[in-house]
Amino acid sequence: MDSAWQKVRSVHQWILQNGDKRTDPWLLVYSPVPVCVIFVLYLCVVWAGPRLMKHREPFDLKVVLTVYNFTMVCLSVYMFHEFLVTSWLSKYSYLCQPVDYSTRPLAMRMANVCWWFFFSKVIELSDTVFFILRKKNSQLTFLHIYHHGTMIFNWWAGVKYVAGGQSFFIGLLNTFVHIVMYSYYGLAGLGPHMQKYLWWKRYLTSLQLLQFVLLTTHTGYNLFTECDFQDSMNTVVFAYCVSLIALFSNFYYQSYVNRKRKQK
């Protein structure tokens, strides 16, 4: 037991000492402990929330959700702009881009938007809470919980070790997708009268899938070519995107192909 604890402490110490010194002082970055606590609390909410709501009426969160969704649209627009403009001004390559660990203004600007992207993933855990409070338990799928729960770890590691470089491409694509996604949720939350304008839900799922295919291709290219970017991070991103392609493909099939067959 003591030996195992010593190993945990040793790994923790290594994590603390080997991060990006520029981002270490920023909220939730220096140690993995806060993110681990958030993750455990998230799982507790996922487990306990539906049980606590079982004999209660669902909450009416129309106003809260409208404000939340359109706030997330604004945040996503800001992050997309920062990823796009900063990468363009820094003359980033879309094929291979090492991390600039300097404190130059553009390098710090990119690191800053990477932190905001990570923090947005913490905020997005609220999606699950809103499902629970509205008793939309059918939305608490493995895909939903897996995606939300793991993204905070992926991007904590991104900000801790690779705040910039190839990481920007993930943020650029994902923020664009989230502009579309939260716009859809925001419009849907305005009421049933908006449904006739929301025929494009199927294409939103297709856009999410396309995103993961592009990220897998982009990361795979860097894994099998010479690029001064951490292979360990590229390997994790590649494997993660493959898992999401599989899960989102299954969701697409069940939601649009299989359901259509059953209706016929």
pLDDT in tens, 40-54: 999 999 999 999 999
- What pLDDT was estimated at residue 263? 60
Distance CA 162, CA 114 (A): 9
- What pLDDT was estimated at residue 220? 93
pLDDT digits (tens, 9 = 90+) for 162-175: 999 999 999 999 99
pLDDT digits (tens, 9 = 90+) for 117-162: 999 999 999 999 999 999 999 999 999 999 999 999 999 999 999 9
Find the mean pLDDT for residues 238-263.
86
User: What band does 192 get if pLDDT is binned at 50, 70 and 90?
Assistant: confident
Find the mean pLDDT for residues 65-88.
98
Distance CA 115, CA 157 (A): 10
Q: Which residues are catalytic?
A: 147
- What pLDDT was estimated at residue 166? 93
Is the pLDDT confidence value at 1 over 90?
A: no
Q: What are phi and psi of 83, to 5 degrees?
A: -60, -45
What are the Cα distances from residue 53, in Å, to 18, 95, 149?
43, 48, 21
User: What band does 201 get if pLDDT is binned at 50, 70 and 90?
Assistant: confident
Chain-wide mean pLDDT for the chain? 94
Range name among 58-67, 68-77, 154-163, 198-207 with the lowest pLDDT average: 198-207
Range name among 118-132, 190-204, 216-230 with the lowest pLDDT average: 190-204
CA-based diameter of the chain, in Å? Answer: 62
- What pLDDT was estimated at residue 215? 97
- What pLDDT was estimated at residue 177? 97
Q: Are 159 and 23 in contact (CB under 8 A)?
A: yes
Q: Are 171 and 83 in contact (CB under 8 A)?
A: yes
Q: Are 151 and 241 in contact (CB under 8 A)?
A: no
Is the pLDDT confidence value at 199 over 70?
A: yes
User: What band does 261 get if pLDDT is binned at 50, 70 and 90?
Assistant: low
Percent of residues, the chain, with pLDDT higher than 70: 97
Q: Which structure tokens are listed for 100?
A: 């600039």
Distance CA 110, CA 17 (A): 22
- What pLDDT was estimated at residue 189? 87
DSSP string, 179-215: HHHHHHHHHHTT-GGGGGG-TTHHHHHHHHHHHHHHH
The full set of domain ranges for the chain reads 60-263
Is the pLDDT confidence value at 260 over 70?
A: no
Please name which of 149, 169, 162 lies closest in space to residue 217, comparing C-alpha atoms: 169
Range name among 35-39, 232-236, 254-258 with the lowest pLDDT average: 254-258
Degrees to nearest 5, angle at CA 178 with 174 and 183:
165
- What pLDDT was estimated at residue 2? 66
Please name which of 92, 238, 232, 226 lies closest in space to residue 169, comparing C-alpha atoms: 92
- What pLDDT was estimated at residue 257? 81
